[in-house]
Amino acid sequence: MLKIAEKEFTSRLFTGTGKFNSSQLMEEALIASGSELVTVALRRVNMHNAEDDILLHLKHPSINLLPNTSGVRTAKEAVFAAQLAREALETNWIKLEIHPDPKYLMPDPIETLLATEELAKLGFVILPYIHADPVLCKRLENAGASAVMPLGSPIGSNKGLKTIDFLEIIIEQSNIPVIVDAGIGSPSDAAKAMEIGADAVLVNTAIAVAGTPVQMAIAFKLAVEAGRMAYHARLAKQGNHAIASSPLTAFLDE
Amino acid sequence: MNSYKNLFESYSWDDVKESIYSKTKNDVENALNTSRRTLEDFKALISPAATTYLEPMAQLSQKLTQKRFGKTIQLYIPLYLSNECTNICTYCGFSLDNKVRRKTLTEEEILQEVKVIKSLGYDHVLLVTGEANQTVHVEYFKKVLNLIRPYFAQVSMEVQPLDTEEYIELIPLGLTSVLIYQETYHKEDYKKHHPKGKKSNFNYRLETPDRLGQAGIHKMGLGVLIGLEDWRTDSFFTALHLNYLEKKYWQTRYSLSFPRLRPFSGGLEPKVEMNDKELVQLICAYRLFNEEVEISLSTRESEKFRNHCVQIGITSISAGSKTNPGGYAVEPESLEQFEISDERSPEMIAAMIRSNGYEPVWKDWDKVIC
């Protein structure tokens, strides 16, 4: 079972709350996905309003909130936002997103590391969103992150696992869970990420903007389960065709 | 200062115009079939040759907009603080030579207006003034930002251009976004439409986005007033400006708006008409050119037009707007800057957005992000 900071998860599909055409549909899709960890942008919710439409639709026994800091540009702003989220939403979990580049929303590795160091001192469970950078992942692990969330491709791009070679290195080296975040455009992408050994994936746009989000949520749920099962069953190696003759080593049998 | 002016001056209005009008169907098809579009592609997409490709452009625009922004439309409302103005602008109801009673809201009056705006459900507000540097100056803006910040998640401003240092003073007080429209990039025509006042300085206005970028603003809005000059050429220079700014001030978000000249008492007739088809063409062309830029549509546009545009590329919309200072509560009957066209209430607009299959978003920012 997946464990992050002592918390166990049955589902390895994490989801987001943006881009849905209504809060009602969002709730239905998230429930259908079986997701137990759902990220929500602080900027979209009214943290001090108990009647906030998004938050009301996320009140469900199986759903744990993962507030994110989307919109901040520096470590200082991120730490401030995380503290407010902890107070208002009563969770010390934070998805650390620092993207000073509002066009491609590329995460800032330097500010993210600084914020992780600071938030760890303050007792947060930190899940940083970052590039698929193996060295950065190790640095974040040492700084106190509870998991790392490398991107598959630019956020919202639906381009799939463009960073797969680096994700494989990260997965091989990591002592904390690796959650592939951003860019997963289809259930097959999610299955692929799970097959190479990711601990979980986070999907938002591909579900929210699908023609039928509820069905797509179920498709992702199944794909993540299938991918994980394939990982455990150990995939047969992709082989070349059998070699008929052995011109280099035949002499050994002569 | 190394600014957009240097790049801008390396282009000739007439050459650009000729280049746009000579684009062929072949150019349009190439622009449609590529994924990373250049300024040349943008020219093709706004050219007369593209007018027969509106449906494929709109379909692509919808897809790209949904991918980036989801099925959501943001709502904002203008709050006119003052109609005092020392500029003469040939197209504006607040022009110095227009005989209207001038008014700048006091703190108490602003709070009355805020109360009404909040009761409509708004969390994003756009502050608007004319240009009267003796009374409506940076100290006034500081006072207003401090006053209203507790009530709104996001505060934007559409006021006279300011100096970099002034923007630096205002941003920490909760100023998230500044809209600064060039009106037209045709320098000679600009002078004709702005004969008197500080606004007659074309270059100072042209370099305002650079000053905002240097000040580190979160978001800025660009655009021209459509109707003053050839809209295609003006739109090219807007796209060029956007491209330049995105590369230089990469931490800032950008938005676009395309106000079409609206009637006001004794006002200017548009020199160049832009019809609805052409406005759709322009919206789609911008979306195909830039997948990340925000696009807003004001109450200047008609009900029918706005109902349909929700699905083809815009990302934010205003509703229930009053364009006179005090229009919501203090002096609802005073003269407006321009006549709005879509007079539906915010509630009705939200329902219209929902019936299009989109979620109306009232809040997408927070005071904690500054």
Mean pLDDT within B39-68 = 96
Q: Chain B: nearest CA to A249, how far in angstroms?
A: 50
Q: DSSP class of residue B312?
A: T
Task: State the helix-helix crossing angle for B276-289 and B54-69, rounded to 10 degrees.
Answer: 50
Tokens of B8: 């801008």
8 Å CB contact of B368 and A81:
yes
Has residue B266 got a pLDDT over 60?
no
Q: Which residues contact B300 (CB under 8 A, 6 or more apart)?
A: B259, B260, B262, B338, B340, B341
Q: What is the structure's pLDDT at B209? A: 98
pLDDT band at B272 (very low <50, low <70, confident <90, very high): confident
Q: Which of A7, A19, A95, A192 is the catalytic position?
A: A95
Cα gap A113→A110, rounded to integer Å? 5
Which residues in chain A are contacts of B368 at CB distance < 8 A?
42, 77, 80-81, 84
| Record: contact B359-A71, CB cut-off 8 A | no
Q: What is the DSSP string of B236-257?
A: HHHHHHHHHHHHHSTT-EEEEE
Strands (E), B289-351: 294-297, 316-318
- Overall average pLDDT of the A48-71 stretch: 87
Lowest mean pLDDT among A56-65, B130-139, B289-298: A56-65
Mean pLDDT of A11-19: 94
**A102–B253: do the CB atoms touch at under 8 Å?**
yes
A112 CB within 8 Å of a chain B CB? no
State the pLDDT confidence band at B370, using cuts at 50, 70 and 90.
Answer: low
Over 70: is that where the pLDDT of B80 sits?
Answer: yes
Find, in chain B, the residue whose alpha carbon is nearest to that of A82: B368
Q: What percent of chain A has pLDDT over 90?
A: 70
Q: Which of B70, B253, B366 sits opposite A208 (nearest CB)?
A: B70
Verify whether residue A95 is a known catalytic residue: yes
Chain B residues close to A21, C-beta within 8 Å: 70-72, 357-359
Chain A residues lying within 8 Å of B250, measured CB to CB: 100-101, 103
Read off the pLDDT of each residue in B233-255 and give the average, rounded to a whole number.
96
Give which of B123, B171, B359 to mutate to test A binding, by max A Cβ within 10 Å: B359
Q: What average pLDDT does range A108-112 have in this prediction?
A: 97
**Interface contact flag, A158 B72, Cβ < 8 Å:** no
Distance, CA of B175 to CA of B218 (rounded, Å) = 9
For residue A43, the model assigns a pLDDT of 86
| Residue at B173: amino acid letter | L
Give the A window 179-238 contacts with B, CB below 8 Å.
205, 208-209
Chain A (4-43) residues lying within 8 Å, Cβ to Cβ, of chain B: 18-23, 42-43
Tell me: pLDDT of B69 over 70: yes
Does A81 sit within 8 Å of B369, measured CB to CB?
yes
Which one of A18, A21, A42 has the shortest CB-CB distance to B368? A42
- Mean pLDDT, residues B187-205 taken together: 93
Q: Is A126 helix (H, G, I), strand (E, B) or coil?
A: strand
Chain A residues whose CB is inside 8 A of the B365 CB are 43, 71
Quick: pLDDT tens for A149-165: 999 998 888 899 999 99
Runs of H (alpha helix) within chain B: 4-8, 13-21, 25-32, 39-46, 54-69, 107-119, 138-148, 164-170, 187-193, 202-206, 208-215, 231-248, 276-289, 303-309, 346-355
Q: pLDDT tens digit string along A44-53?
A: 888 777 788 8
- Give B44 to chain A, closest Cα distance, Å: 24
Q: Which of B36, B70, B73, B28 is nearest to B52 (CA)?
A: B28
What is the structure's pLDDT at B261? 84
* Full-model pTM: 0.85
B183, pLDDT greater than 70: yes
Interacting residues of A72 by C-beta distance below 8 A, sequence separation 6+:
A78, A81, A97, A98, B369
| Closest alpha carbon within chain A to B252 | A102
| CB-CB under 8 Å, A42 with B366 | yes
The residue that leads in pLDDT, B348 or B267, is B348
Residue to substitute from B69, B315, B369, B370, interface A, most A β-carbons within 10 A: B369
Q: Check CB contact under 8 Å for A101 and B251.
A: yes
Encode pLDDT of A190-226 as tens digits.
Answer: 999 999 999 999 999 999 999 999 999 999 999 999 9
For chain B, what is the mean pLDDT? 92
Statement: residue B179 has pLDDT above 80: yes
A52 backbone dihedrals φ, ψ, rounded to 5°: -55, 130
Please give the residue of chain A at the shortest CA–CA distance from B249.
A101
Residue A94 has a pLDDT of 97
pLDDT at residue A240 greater than cutoff 60: no
